Chains A and B, each alone.
Chain A
Amino acid sequence: MAKFSSTATVIGAALVGLVFFAPAAAVRIAAQQRDAGQPTTRSAKPLPRTSWDGKPDLTGVWQGVKLNARAYGLAELERLYQPLAKEKMKALTEKDDPIGRCVVYGYPRRMATSFPIQIVQAVGAMVLFDNRPHIYRYIPTDGRAHTEDLFPSYQGDSVGRWEGDTLVVDVTTFNGRVWLAGAQDHPTPTGVGGWMTSDASHLVERWRLVDANTLEYQATVEDPKVLTGPWTTPKIVLKRSSNRKLEDEGHCIPEGIDYQSPSLK
């Protein structure tokens, strides 16, 4: 004979209540935490993680905003330039900016723009894809050492390792042709012109998923040929884009090159 004990009824009701009302309560807590500027932790969606090693999965298309000089910390960077380098830099203008000849932005500058990047995370590696201009950047994430005797390049030689949930990437072997910021990014009206780097540049990046839709990037640059000490960017935030892929930006054609592919029309 079915007979519900009063205790069971109370417990049952409590459980039902918990099931129905707890999520709503959780959302309210999360909202309060967000409003209070707190990271949503306990009740927020968990970070997406890769199935093979449980690390946060940075796969996706990420969209930043163009950071102005203040937001990008350029006043501090300007102070760090060595006097001789500073003299050279003051003579540089926008027309000397390497991105004007289709050279890549490089890092960390690339992360301070509004152009999205695409990331894929695979076993032992992370790859960045870029369409401004078209280039890939391969980052082994298995903690290996730098490639021996590699030739210098625009994006350098990257090796990554996980420190908890933060991917720390060490980059060396640059060719010194990228800038850290644009010529028009003056921290002050009388600020420097071109934010040069050298082939002695050393970059350490920290890539972190704050939540499923927020990627945080921070970089420290050392460059003994042009800077008196290390410069660390502010924490740069990119948001997940709903696009599956980057939009193709065509072929960058630098000034002075008049080639255009023949086509049938």
Chain B
Amino acid sequence: MEKSFSAAGVVVGTALLGLVILTRAASVPVAARQRGGGQATVTPAPAKPVPRTPWDGKPDLTGTWGGPLPAMGTPTSEQRASSVAELARVYQPWALEKSNALAYLEDPRLHCGPWGFPRYIDGASLAAPRNAFYFLLQIVQAPKETDVLIEYTYAGYRVIPTDGSTHPKTMTPSYFGDSVGHWEGDTLVVDVKGFNGKIWLASGKLGTRPPGDLGGGTMTSDALHEVERWRLVDAGTLEYQATIEDPKVLTGPWTTPKYRLRRAPPGVVVHEAVCLDPEDLGVMKAATKGQK
């Protein structure tokens, strides 16, 4: 009896062997597609695994994100709408009223000030293909820090230590706040505080918004505290989500939807973006003469 192979064993063995052969075969057409080979295949390519840094094996967020490719559709417009509705619900009524009373032209981003986070990510995720060249995010990851270069808030940047540093005892209030990061598995968790109270969480009025009304802005205070979660879904997709607390203006925490950004095409990088040199101010004033 021992000399005969059990039928079940043969079946299982063949199945396993088949699985091995098939998965290896599946990886070949993917490679051909990535090379630009014109294979007519309907099998979706398995996503490329996330690149990892050689010094600690963590996902490497280095690269330029956002760009002219169609937005990923994450979040959906329903998710956005419900997220904004939730934000309106957690706003303290007096702060909501003040925010909604702001004029469009008071937006810091229209005066060379930053969008800030998470608002910038929201913009990046919304950008239509032709306008997406604005909302790039370039990340540079090093052994002790992960740094973010933000062109379209004019030369903004964030230095995020990942070496166990904690927030300094005194922090000069700033638009981007003071960030410290640590890894939880493959997610970079960033704690941000020390804001100057001048960034907006979103554009426009919360609640009913008359069509064509560009006014309003969701203001924050210097008590703003954000916890962000950054992770690579795959080699070409960056995901971001933030939980916001601001005891001076909100009644409770608010969490953004999950945002996904594509890796920009090769060669796309952020450049220097200085704004505004008052030498050009005279020109700008002339252009906006008479405008309110």
Q: Given A122, A247, A254, which contacts B142 in the complex, CB threshold below 8 Å?
A: A122
Evaluate contact between B274 and A264: CB separation under 8 angstroms.
no
Q: Given B95, B142, B159, which contacts A121 in the complex, CB threshold below 8 Å?
A: B142
Q: A122-B142, A127-B149, A155-B272 are in contact. Are A254 and B55 (CB under 8 A)?
A: no
Is chain A's binding surface mostly helix, strand, loop or mixed? loop
Give the interface centre of A121, A153, A244, A259 by most chain B CB atoms within 10 Å: A244
Q: How many A-B residue pairs have CB under 8 A?
A: 113
Closest to B174 in A: A248
Chain A residues bordering chain B, tally (CB within 8 A):
46
Q: A136-B157, A244-B165, A263-B197 are in contact. Are A120 and B248 (CB under 8 A)?
A: no
CA distance A150 to B168 in the complex (A): 39
B135-159 residues at the A interface, CB under 8 angstroms: 138, 140-145, 147, 149, 155-157, 159
A4 near B: Cβ within 8 Å? no
List chain B residues, Cβ under 8 A from A129: 147, 157, 159
List chain B residues, Cβ under 8 A from A135: 155, 272, 274
Q: A154-B274, A245-B159 are in contact. Are A263 and B172 (CB under 8 A)?
A: no
Is chain B's binding surface mostly helix, strand, loop or mixed? loop
CA distance A245 to B138 in the complex (A): 19
Q: Given B113, B145, B172, B277, which contacts A177 in the complex, CB threshold below 8 Å?
A: B277
A236-254 residues at the B interface, CB under 8 angstroms: 244-251, 254
List chain A residues, Cβ under 8 A from B144: 59
A33-57 residues at the B interface, CB under 8 angstroms: 51-52
CA distance A265 to B219 in the complex (A): 11
Evaluate contact between A125 and B140: CB separation under 8 angstroms.
yes
Closest to B60 in A: A123
5 pairs, A vs B, C-beta closer than 8 Å: A51-B55, A127-B147, A244-B165, A251-B175, A259-B111
Query: Which 5 pairs of residues, A with B, have the shortest CB-CB distance?
Result: A248-B174, A261-B198, A135-B155, A153-B272, A248-B172
- Write the residues of chain A forming the contact surface with B, with a CB cutoff of 8 angstroms: 51-52, 59, 98, 101-104, 118, 120-123, 125, 127, 129, 133-138, 150-151, 153-155, 177, 244-251, 254-257, 259, 261-265
